[in-house]
Chain A
Amino acid sequence: MALTQVSSNKCAGGFQKVFEHDSTELKCKMKFAVFLPPKAETGKCPVFYWLSGLTCTEQNFITKAGSQLAAAEHGIIIVAPDTSPRGCSIEGEDETWDFGTGAGFYVDATQDPWKTNYRMYSYVTEELPKLINSNFPTDPDRMSISGHSMGGHGALICALKNPGKYKAVSAFAPICNPMQCPWGQKAFSGYLGPDRSAWEAYDATVLAGSYSGPQLDILIDQGRDDQFLSASQLLPDNLISVCSEKKIPVVFRLQPVGPCSSSQCLAEEFPPLSFSFCHRTTRNFLRFLHD
């Protein structure tokens, strides 16, 4: 698996790099961003995976969120993959912004024409970590995962479906119950077909209801005035009630302002919020690293 460095910039005492490689899962060239803190020059570092939301690429998080400072301070590698396969020339992939390109929904599609390339779940949970671990000074036992909106959904399901794999999980305005919201229903029926039972495997709320594994500590931030919250796309309450029932520890914060789930708004309107979220997420992760 050869990596090609696309760019490298000094940032916060470390390096913000972008690499490209041929993905075996996605069968296309994929880019991902890696931030290497100063500590990576001398030792192994834990890894923080950030999954971006609808319409995003590997660039959004690294340019807008300002997470590098916290990562550099605590010696954490940040990996931010793209949100879907690119340039696969699949018909209909660029028709809408919430399905297809830039909207992989972190599932392994079973339906044509998506099933060949749209395998973001395996990419994020298998191929990418292997790639990262063999090319960078990582501590493979210490990974955490996080994301925004669709990426939040991705982070939640990756953690719930892989008990013990991730030391910490947090989500920023995540889609908590995709089966019950328009976005999720559109994506799942396209990628997974009409059988709703197939959807359950990728729904955080459902997965939480049947989760059994090591204690999972979930941190969720949500803007109160988020238009998508009011449009019932995100449905955090559903996840919270299931977690309360199942005693899965969640701390859910409703922020007084409203980051809309669009990634642009995320950083442009609320740099301090995202920064604070990153800080708290990092800290959350760090707490688990002490075990």
Chain B
Amino acid sequence: MELDDIRGGRLDVISEEGEHQDISRESSTMEACYVVPEPGGRTFQRFSVNTNESLRFEPCEDSCPSPTAAEDDVFEKGEFEGEIIPVRNQLQGKVAEMENFAGHLEEIFLTVEENFGRQEQHLEQHYNDVLQTLSQRYDERATGLQEEKKSKLESLYGQLLVCGQALDASKVLIETAQEIYRCQDKRLFLKTVMPIIKRVEEFAKEDIDLTLATSLEFSTPLADLTDVKTMMDSINIVPAPSAPVINPQLPNSATQTSLHVCWSLFSDDTVEYYELYYRPVLEDTPADSTCAPQESKVKVKETHCTVTDLLPNAQYELWVTATNTTGISPASEKALYMTVPSPPVIKQRECSSCPEAALIRWESGNTNPVDSYTVELSETGTVGTESNITESIVAVPTCQCLIQLQAGRQYFISVRAVNIGGPSERSDAITISTTGTFFYLLEDTAHPCLSMSEDGFTIFYGDEELPITAMAFEDNTFTRCVAILGDLIPVRGRHYWEVEVDEDTEFRVGVAYEDTERDSYLGANSSSWCMRHIRTPSRHKYEFLHNGWSPDLRITVHPVRIGVALDYDRGTLSFFNAHLEQHLHTFRCHFQSYVHPCFSLDNPGALTVHNGIAAPDYTVT
């Protein structure tokens, strides 16, 4: 049973610690353990020490046997239990250590292999080079020698031929002479002998060049093995470094005007210093290379560098070389880094809000496009108390964002521009209150006769008649009705604002679609709804106009502060005398799209818009 195994195993291990153990005491100790009741049985760990396998653990469970021998010691469980546990813990600790050590050894083993591999490779290459060079030289010399031999043989052969020819000629001469000498005909002999004799004499006078055309020796120029020697020597010399590897841009490592560049060296080369080169990547690369952007260089000892004085939202090309006493490494690959953009600028007058949302618009702040924008908001708490709940909306593609908010709070909202290099600094924040509906008036829709106050909420229709020529009409301005639109209300639900007028001001206030005819009067078409006040000498007249039609209404108390309540969901537009909390009229209209508040003055006067007000209860039923 396991008991024995365990005991055996246990004994082996314990013998490491302390050599002398009383076996009988051991067994009683063991039994004492088993008497101790524990829920769910004990798991006892043992490990095999004498194998080649890596250390592993096998849990083994034992049942609780009844004590085999009743010994007095058995019931003194406390003492023996106390001894066993620390020893066991010690062993466990040791085992863990050994495992760690083994792991570490493995790592070292691998690293040594790697290093060795690298060194070996390096050596092999070096010696290969040397061997190659030598064998090249050998080939060269051998070829040279061969050629020399060939030329010598050729010339000797030539000489041989010449000699042979000369011999042949002499032979022929002698034979001729002998023939003549033997010739019986004396008369013929006398005729031919003289020229022959002359020829023989001449021939005899000829010097025979008996010198060898070439020497029998081969020239053995000194072999120029200096470069081989250098190569051999260089095996012992520190090589010039290999090319470093430049890292790709780390997120959030760049600022508007600086870049943090890192690189690494994947070899054991010694390096004295690095040189980082950089130049801006221009959009239009001129054909003329003399106008190429200027290259700058920084010398550093570390494997990182922060380059400053750069342009925002700009791309730069960077590469690095490593230098030691031997020389300069080849350049690394070129990496493209980008500086972070400049922060955007929120367009205060183009932001609007309502209890559940805000529409924020901004200018990019950068001449070149950026990848996206991040909008950040933090709540200032309800009325005064500070709390920093921050929320971010990322990957906003255009320069505007409709943000969901909660009613009755105040928020700081700012925007960052984002590109590959990271996010820009925060723009200046805008404060948004989600009390009521808030919007600015759209100046570019105003009829030229309208002028606006500084704060943008009061419009005036002046007394003087502007000549037609002085009026600058643009695409978006009203041309007949002296009107202006408010910013779009792009959120469903209820909205409320108030308009303050004088006793005698003739006005139209209401809502209109964005594409309402600019050459038409508010309320005269199907794209606008408004309350109209007409002043006659005797009384006030009111119309609630849409499509040129109005119900017949009489109002006895002239409203000077008109509450306008728009409900997209119910499809209603209501008007109230805000001072009296009196309901005047409600249009029931099915709005096909979001609308703009609209205002016009039909005679010289002024009109002030009040918004950002919570809708009073009486407007809500």
Stretch of B341-349, B444-452, B574-582 with 4 or more beta carbons under 8 angstroms from chain A: B574-582
How many Å lie between the Cα of A243 and that of B580 in the bound state? 14
Q: Pick the interface stretch among A31-39, A124-132, A283-291.
A: A283-291
Q: How many residues of A contact B (CB 8 A)?
A: 25
Given known A283-B621, A287-B618, A290-B618, contact A217–B556 (CB-CB < 8 A):
no
Of the 9-residue stretches B138-146, B208-216, B546-554, which lies at the interface with chain A? Answer: B546-554
Residue of B nearest to A240 (CB): B554
Cβ of B465 within 8 Å of any chain A Cβ, yes or no, is no
Contact with A along B577-621 (1 / 0, CB 8 A): 100111111000000000000000000000000000000011001
* Cα-based distance from A284 to B586 in the complex (angstroms): 12
Q: How many residues of B contact A (CB 8 A)?
A: 18
Complex alpha-carbon distance, A250 and B552, angstroms: 14
Interface SS majority for chain A: mixed
User: Could you tell me if A251 and B552 are in contact, using CB atoms closer than 8 angstroms?
Assistant: no
Contacts of A256 in B (CB 8 A): 551-552
Interface residues of A in 71-116 (CB under 8 A from B): 74
Contact for A253 among B539, B553, B581, B582, CB less than 8 A = B553
CB-CB nearest in chain A for B620: A290
Partner of A249, one of B553, B582, B585, B618: B582
Please indicate the chain A residues that have their CB under 8 angstroms from the CB of B552 in the complex.
224, 253-256
CA distance A224 to B585 in the complex (A): 18
B557 at the interface (CB under 8 A from A): yes
Of chain B, the residue at the smallest CB distance from A236 is B554
Q: What sequence of 0s and 1s flags, for each residue 231-264 of chain A, a beta carbon within 8 Å of any chain B beta carbon?
A: 0000000001001100111111111100000000
Residue of A244, A250, A287 near B581 (CB, 8 A) is: A287
**Chain A residues with CB below 8 A from B582, complex form:** 217, 249, 251
B617: A residues at CB distance < 8 A: 287, 290
Q: In the assembled complex, how far is the CB of residue A207 from the closest CB belonging to chain B, in whole angstroms?
A: 15
Report the Cα distance A284→B585, complex, angstroms: 11
Specify the chain B residue showing the minimal Cβ separation from A239: B556
Cα–Cα distance between A253 and B621 once the two chains are bound (Å): 20
Q: Considering the chains assembled together, what is the distance between the CA atoms of A251 and B617 in angstroms?
A: 20
Residue of A with least CB distance to B576? A287
What distance in Å separates the Cβ of A48 from its nearest Cβ neighbour in chain B? 14
Closest residue on chain A to residue B584 by CB atoms: A251
Q: Which residue of A lies closest to B551 (CB)?
A: A253
> Which residues from A are CB-within-8-Å of B577?
249
List chain B residues, Cβ under 8 A from A224: 552
- Once A217-B582, A224-B552, A284-B583 are accepted as A-B contacts, the answer to whether A247 and B618 lie under 8 Å apart by CB is no
Contacts from A to B (Cβ < 8 Å):
74, 215, 217, 219, 224, 240, 243-244, 247-256, 280, 283-284, 286-288, 290
Closest 5 CB pairs of A and B: A254-B552, A243-B556, A287-B618, A252-B554, A250-B556
Pick 16 A–B contacts, CB within 8 A, sort by A.
Answer: A217-B580, A240-B554, A240-B556, A243-B556, A244-B556, A247-B557, A250-B554, A250-B555, A250-B557, A251-B584, A253-B553, A255-B551, A256-B552, A287-B583, A287-B617, A290-B621
- CB within 8 Å of A: which residues of B? 539, 551-557, 577, 580-585, 617-618, 621
